Structure 1
Amino acid sequence: MEIKDIIESIVNLFNFELIEETETKVTFRIVSEYTAILDKQNLSDIIEKIGGLKSNENIELFDSQNYEVLVRNESRIAMRRELEQVDSVNKLEYSLNSPSDEYLVFLLFNLNKENTPNIFRRSIMGHRLKRIFGEQEEQPELFEHSLLEVIKRGLMRLETISIKSKTIRKLDEYERFLYAFIFNLGFNLDMNIQPLRFIEEFTQPYKIGRIRRARPMEVEPPKRIYINDLVLHYQKAISSDSIDHQYLSYYHVMEYFFEKIYNDDVIDTIRQELTKPNFSYKRQRDVKGLVSTIQKKLRYRNEEFSINELEALELTLKKYISDIEMFTESLDELSETLLDYYKGNEVSFCQGQKVDFKNTNKEEIYRNLAKRIYKTRNAIVHSKENEKSKYVPFKNDKDLINELYLMRLIAETLILETSKEL
């Protein structure tokens, strides 16, 4: 990490104009005529401090006496609460606040590596920036705004939890302290604070959003009507911070169609058998064959017939994602790495099949895609102690996040394909 890397990160992530660079500072245009500076010596000191810290997933920053991690504040009252607590017995200091300079520089550097241009441009509010600069309008020549401070104050929802210890601590201890602090805030103040565990949690909504219209004035009134239940499942998915809950909500969109599509397939199969020129209801062999076909399709459990859910999923995918080439292009728009990822990687915790979306054998694509989705769903839902293929919350979240891109696009395709013109 060098000074030039941080300058590049700021330009890419915020789209701030670099006005001037000297030996001692870099000046950026922030909004209108207002500028802020990046002090090179100060930045060099920050980078040196970061060099002495550790990180496992590019989201937490720690050493034996300090720990800081980015959090998502989903409290009902959307305002920054600066909280500091001191535990004199265990010699710990807790803080929920804007990030430290070290953490902010560390985060900007890692976000830039994730190819997320302008990720903060709409988050940093213009009117708030003008208010920040307006505080010093009376004597502007005596005051140069620190760019790092402007970013912290402009990004209201960018918060971290910081824990400092006067004694030597291990990472797993800091993680226990973190969750204890979060529970205290939730229990006493009804604050919903979620620590991020890897940087993809932060960038995932952005990667989806950048291929969509993002400005409210560009969104037109609805031209189609959609199935209400599907919209509710979809909204539940995109509003949830829980990765496994998101996955299951997208799955519920697909599951909505299973029974009808599967029953239609059973009826078509029976009709085909009955209308074959060599079928005769007078021949016992033909009738037994028809009964056997029905029994394979429908299983009798708990005094009712149940469908083959995996087969129903595959039929649903075939029916509503008929243009697999267009679907593949949409995946590629999200990220150029996704297609190679699905082709080269199983879902690690359940051995969900690899899927080559460019395979010329379309049947194989649908078959493997259905198995990948279904095995993952089962691993999330069924978490018995001795189960080999099971999802462990938090531990397997990073392996699940790439599946969300796939599930969201499938759910959106199904919702659109089953909509009607308004």
Structure 2
Amino acid sequence: MDNFLDFLNERFGLADLVEEGIKFESEDGKLYLLYNGQMIPVHLSEEDDVFLTVNNKLKKDETAIYNGYFSSEKNRLMEFKVLKLKSAKHRDSPFITKHKYALNGDGFKIEISKMSVEMVISFFNSQEYVGYVKNRIIQRVERYLERVKDYESRGKKATYITALNFSDLFIKRLPTAKVFTEDKWPNLAKQLEINLRNLEKAFYILENNEEDCFNYYLKSWDFSSPVRFLKDEDIEISFKIPSVSYDEILLKFYKNAMVAETVNHSFLSFYHVLEYYFLKCTEKNLHQQLKFFIDDPKFNSQQNNLEQLISTIKRYNYENDENKMLLCVLREYIQPEALLNYVHSLDIRRGEGVDIFGENIEKKGLDENNVIDIIGRTIKAIRNGIVHSSDKYNRAERFIPFSESETTVKKYLPVVKFIAEKIIATTSH
């Protein structure tokens, strides 16, 4: 028991966690977590010894580090977080990877399986763990205390309420990708580059064989959104359905955007809502202009009138200019004031002032007179960047999935979503 106490109190006594006020004590051979003057039982099992064993092992490995991924040069191992983008259709469950993948390469092998205890402990000792404590462990403890209070208020014993298992103090062992190498590492940065390149190849092999689709990520886990609990089963969350009819096709595009697993696919599906009205909007404009001439009692087939009619057709026939078609849709269905207020709420207050996938967007402050034009050009440039990968456009920067170029797409994804929602609402009846 003392080993477990020392292990936990050593970590929770460090500067990054001491303010959370969590300590551990033992009483009558049982382990307790102390929080706000309350003692919460922590259940231990025989399997929990492995956490202490691995922790001692890592203390002896001076090359073991955690920096968004786990690395041990001594063992020539790197372990990465992975996100399952899409499950293989022949798998029983779309949510759980119960199996593991083993891929062998020239001088390396890759395994995709449950997170190693080494990575769990390395995460436990890292700064990232603070977020887990604040938004997972403390929330669970407070939930437990609320249930105990509720039971006792009704004269019931809370003995049978599960508090915490020792393993609950650690991150869930989700699937990770482990890259084992045979040769000595040149240096950490270079080996990281090599391993990630090999990992991309491994993912492609799986995809090509219609297996699960994965992507790695090096960023910190985000625990800022606490797990949501409903305190009572009879709580109702309700919404009102407007008494209007929406275009079912637009709703399908919107649904596709919401379930898309990459920002570029999501952006394109929202953009399809805008694109759906390209011809309808431009034809409506053209019809209105033609009616201006044809309905005029003075209109006749004299050459001057015909030339004006032809000129109007040329001026308002946008079929070969998607930029004008997009602006037509935006001007038809979007209120400049509403769009301006929304982009301002996202802290977008001027044009980017840089090339966006080959399209120069001037750095001009947004106002009601120019917001349609500048935002329209921006989202069109992003759409073109996503759709076209060819180098014939002489673009200084191309859109590359799962790279830094996604930053711009992510920034304007809420904007194109907002526009799509307004078009769906405006075209309802």
TM interval, short-chain normalised? 0.5 to 0.7
Q: Structure 1: any 5+ residue segments left out of the alignment?
A: 9-17, 131-136, 210-214, 300-305, 333-337
1:317 deviates by 1.8
Whether the 8 Å CA contact 1:353–1:369 is kept in 2: the answer is no
Aligned length: 364
User: Does residue 397 in structure 1 map to residue 403 in structure 2?
Assistant: no
2:181 aligned residue (165, 172, 175): 165
1:261 deviates by 1.2
In the aligned structure 2, how far is the partner of 1:282 from the partner of 1:86? Answer: 76
User: Does residue 369 in structure 1 map to residue 378 in structure 2?
Assistant: no
Q: Quick one: structure 1 residues 256 and 187, their matched pair in 2 at CA, closer, same or farther if it must change by over 3 Å?
A: closer
Q: Quick one: structure 1 residues 297 and 318, their matched pair in 2 at CA, closer, same or farther if it must change by over 3 Å?
A: closer
1:35 deviates by 5.3
Question: What residue number does 2:247 align with?
Answer: 227
Question: What residue number does 1:212 align with?
Answer: none
**Identity within the alignment, %:** 17
Give the secondary-structure state (helix, strand or coil) at the position aligned to 2:179: strand
Where do 1:2-401 residues align within 5 Å? 3-5=14-16, 20-21=22-23, 27=33, 53=65, 60=69, 62=71, 65-73=76-84, 74-75=86-87, 76=89, 77=93, 78-81=95-98, 83=100, 85=102, 87=104, 90-92=107-109, 94-98=111-115, 100-101=119-120, 104-105=123-124, 109=128, 145-149=166-170, 151-152=171-172, 158-169=174-185, 170-186=191-207, 190-197=210-217, 199=219, 217-220=236-239, 222-223=241-242, 224-272=244-292, 281=300, 284-298=303-317, 306=319, 308-322=321-335, 324-325=337-338, 328-329=341-342, 332=345, 338-340=346-348, 343-344=351-352, 346=354, 348-351=356-359, 353=361, 359=366, 361-389=367-395, 390-395=398-403, 396-401=405-410
Greater gyration radius: 2
Task: Kindly provide the amino acid, as one letter, of the partner of residue 419 in structure 1.
Answer: S
1:268 deviates by 2.5
1:101 deviates by 2.0
1:367 deviates by 0.4
In the aligned structure 2, how far is the partner of 1:230 from the partner of 1:393? Answer: 26
Task: Kindly provide the amino acid, as one letter, of the partner of residue 314 in structure 1.
Answer: L
Give the secondary-structure state (helix, strand or coil) at the position aligned to 1:363: coil
Task: Give the TM-score of the pair, scaled to structure 2.
Answer: 0.64
Q: Structure 2: any 5+ residue segments left out of the alignment?
A: 1-11, 45-50, 148-158, 186-190, 229-233
Whether the 8 Å CA contact 1:237–1:250 is kept in 2: the answer is yes
1:282 deviates by 6.9
RMSD between superposed Cα atoms in Å: 5.3
In the aligned structure 2, how far is the partner of 1:412 from the partner of 1:298? Answer: 27
In the aligned structure 2, how far is the partner of 1:348 from the partner of 1:45? Answer: 49
